Structure 1
Amino acid sequence: METGVSNRTVPVLDLSPFYSDDEAAKLELAHSLDTVCRDVGFLVVTGHPVDMSLVGRVRHLCLDFFDLPEVEKMKIGRPRDDAVRGYIPVLSEGLSYGIGLDTPPDLKECVSLGAPGIPEARYLLNDPYYAAEAAGTHFYPNLWPTEPPEFRPILEEHFRVMTEFAFDLHRLFELALELPAGYFDHLIDKPCSTYRAIHYPPLTKDPEPGQLRAGEHSDYTNVTICTVSPGLQARDRSGVWIDVPVIENAFVINIGDLIMRWTNDRWMSTRHRVIAPALDSDANDRRLSLIYFFESNYDAMIECLPTCQSEDNPAKYPPIRAADYILEKYTKQTRFEKWSDETAAQFGTQDTESRFVDAG
């Protein structure tokens, strides 16, 4: 297996044509996106609608939270290992378990939340969609710290902004995949998305063999939108690691497993990682990632799109409910569970099973 680092860089796309009235420019952007997602499924985007001053406020608030004593942070500790909510200390997750790799725990801590308003109101009022047994923990109530005091209102505002941006991306996906406008609407109108602020403290000792700040993994949602920080690497179809460039006021966008399955492997759900710096290097500094994971409706059936299959290219994956796929992957990383053959057959992707494992 080839594991070297390439001189290539992750592509950069300017999204501003999507927000213009130039239909030809929109189509050209969609073609460029399709090309990138076929090759690496990982890109840096500029020209987006997100107010970066809001992102700056979120960043400062999250750093203030992570600076609190551990006992204070644990007041909103994760309530259960299948709920993406609350604070999770360092060494509490192994992201690589989501793709069937047995590695040491990750050198990160994080705080997670879901959609504002839904868990606190509709979930508790027994809304038939949000409180149904089939929803599982996807709409578990959010846990909010008392300090810093602006944490909740600013993070809720940012969550809403990122949700609108993700809806825009799906409209661009429809254009790139030659789908009718609005094709995804009924599949993503009640998304079970999550937001995570992930903090990587400076290392104080050498990592264990194979231990990273964030272990090698693929995201198992529709699409991920992430702030850009040094140390992030993505893996291309040949199995080579590519450094993700740090560009001011940009976001990293990467395709998740659900879109990969929807597109029948036309688009990649790329493995990525955050490397552990040398103790004596300038890179051994605290690192913060603000990550929005856009997930479809929990009851959406993930099955091959009509434009991504043919007689010569039949569907590679059986249909699966989004909630089942997401929870299976998430609990693997929180419980440090190894994959069984049955798990690999049902929840793996062609990419994680063959392309990277056998590359080179």
Structure 2
Amino acid sequence: MATEVPTVKIPIVDISGYLTGDQAAKKACAAEVRDAYENQGFLQIVGHSVSPDIQARFLAAVTAFFKLPLEAKKRIAQDNSPCYRGYERIAGQKLDELDDNATEDQKEGFSIRPERPLGRFLAGPNQWPDPSLPGMSTFRETYMEYFDAVHSLSKNVFRLIALSLDLDEKHFDEFAADPDGICLCRSHHYPPTPKDATGRTRGVGAHTDFGALTLLLQDTVGGLEVLHKPTGTWHAVPPIEGAYVCNIGDLMQRWTNDRYRSTMHRVISPLSNTDRYSCAFFNDGKLDQIVEALPGCVPEGEKAKYGPLKVEDHCIKRYQQSYGAGGTVIEAPVKTKMESMITTQQVVA
């Protein structure tokens, strides 16, 4: 008898009541978040604080950027940045964790982080397109306005996660709001796959996010899919206008001692003549944060599944893996290399 394929639906959580401070809404939202992350690892949030106006202006700005001539975009290529920001070429990254022979990701991107001096891993200045180019006169201002709005939202989502774990609501505040944290706002453009093509384009291969929390804004084209691990089947995450797909990454799974799930997902571009645009905001928090099992996440009488891990060490390893597969070399800061050598010597001793 054939195994019945389950219907997997991504929960939709309205957080408007939580944001107004309603105590009953806080409790209800926390319970929905707990259920989603214990079972799916994904949810979509509506009723949030990012206005439709800034979302629309941001997507319009992103669309204008990706329509620029390739030579204009290459002037601010990620390869020119010592802190790996700016334009990312198609096939510059390969995220597939299920197929070693998979092709590189068929997307292009543009990344920014907080403006900082060079020094720590991924810290430094952003690159921006020439404002005299078509549609670029307010690109920087719009992108930063959007960054700030979603960063603020991410801090509230961390507070909901804390409540869902029966922790103090502000438990993650220092981690999520650290001014030197490695938040990333990366917009994507997926070229269309014509309807007469023989197969769908692999936009992003199957992977889990390796940080703590991701907030994804989709347009209406679709293509995001999540893996139902028990059956090995893939299920679409239908776009909801204005909503954020909100999933945890490997760091949060480790932090919760596997109580919450970092779920495998991918983007398979639909057969269409329409370009797809999206933007992922990653709040991977404080570089010096030591991640170890949270209170209440280790069953009585058992030991934690993982030892302590520094966020910076984890991110260096995973960035080098994913970008290295696409031919992009990510260097660790010299200081971090030396610290790792000292740590290794101490362990050996």
Q: 1:258 and 2:247 equivalent? A: no
Q: Which amino acid aligns with 1:96?
A: D
The answer to whether the 8 Å contact 2:175/2:285 transfers is yes
Correspondence for 1:69: 69
Correspondence for 1:202: 192
Q: Which amino acid aligns with 1:232?
A: L
- What root-mean-square deviation, in Å, do the aligned CA atoms of Structure 1 and Structure 2 show? 2.5
Q: 1:336 and 2:328 equivalent? A: no
Correspondence for 1:319: 308
The answer to whether the 8 Å contact 1:4/1:240 transfers is no
The counterpart of 1:187, out of the listed 175, 187, 193, is 175
* 1:174-253 aligned within 5 A: 174-190=162-178, 191-203=181-193, 212-229=202-219, 230-238=222-230, 239-253=232-246
The secondary structure found in structure 1 opposite 2:266 is strand
The counterpart of 2:129, out of the listed 131, 145, 164, is 145
Structure-2 change in CA distance of 1:51 and 1:203 (3 Å): same
Correspondence for 1:173: 161
1:211-269 Cα distance to aligned partner (Å, 9 max, x none): 61111111111111111341111123424322112212211111111111100111111
Aligned length: 316
1:262-299 Cα distance to aligned partner (Å, 9 max, x none): 00111111111111334xxxx34210011111111011
Structure-2 change in CA distance of 1:100 and 1:201 (3 Å): closer
* 1:1-360 aligned within 5 A: 6-79=6-79, 83-96=83-96, 101-115=100-114, 118-119=115-116, 123=117, 131=119, 135-136=120-121, 138-146=122-130, 147=133, 148-190=136-178, 191-203=181-193, 212-229=202-219, 230-238=222-230, 239-278=232-271, 283-336=272-325
- Counterpart-to-counterpart distance in 2, 1:263 and 1:80: 37
With normalisation by structure 2, the TM-score equals: 0.84
**Which deviates further from its counterpart, 242-251 or 43-52?**
242-251
Cα offset, 1:207, TM superposition: 8.1
Correspondence for 2:342: none
The secondary structure found in structure 2 opposite 1:335 is helix
The secondary structure found in structure 2 opposite 1:173 is helix
1:290-322 Cα distance to aligned partner (Å, 9 max, x none): 111111101111111112113344211121111
The secondary structure found in structure 1 opposite 2:34 is helix
Structure-2 change in CA distance of 1:101 and 1:5 (3 Å): farther
- Counterpart-to-counterpart distance in 2, 1:108 and 1:3: 34
- Counterpart-to-counterpart distance in 1, 2:4 and 2:188: 26
The secondary structure found in structure 1 opposite 2:93 is coil
- Counterpart-to-counterpart distance in 2, 1:313 and 1:330: 32
The answer to whether the 8 Å contact 1:221/1:257 transfers is yes
Q: Which amino acid aligns with 1:201?
A: P
Q: Which amino acid aligns with 2:291?
A: I
Cα offset, 1:184, TM superposition: 1.5
- Counterpart-to-counterpart distance in 1, 2:3 and 2:224: 15
The answer to whether the 8 Å contact 2:292/2:306 transfers is yes
Cα offset, 1:192, TM superposition: 1.1
The answer to whether the 8 Å contact 1:4/1:241 transfers is no
- Counterpart-to-counterpart distance in 2, 1:64 and 1:302: 39
- Counterpart-to-counterpart distance in 1, 2:262 and 2:282: 13
Q: Which amino acid aligns with 1:233?
A: E
Q: Which amino acid aligns with 2:292?
A: E
- Counterpart-to-counterpart distance in 1, 2:81 and 2:158: 30
Cα offset, 1:8, TM superposition: 2.5
The answer to whether the 8 Å contact 2:193/2:201 transfers is no
Structure with greater contact order relative to length (CA < 8 Å, sep ≥ 6): 1
With normalisation by structure 1, the TM-score equals: 0.81
**Which deviates further from its counterpart, 4-13 or 151-160?**
4-13
The secondary structure found in structure 1 opposite 2:157 is helix
Cα offset, 1:27, TM superposition: 0.8
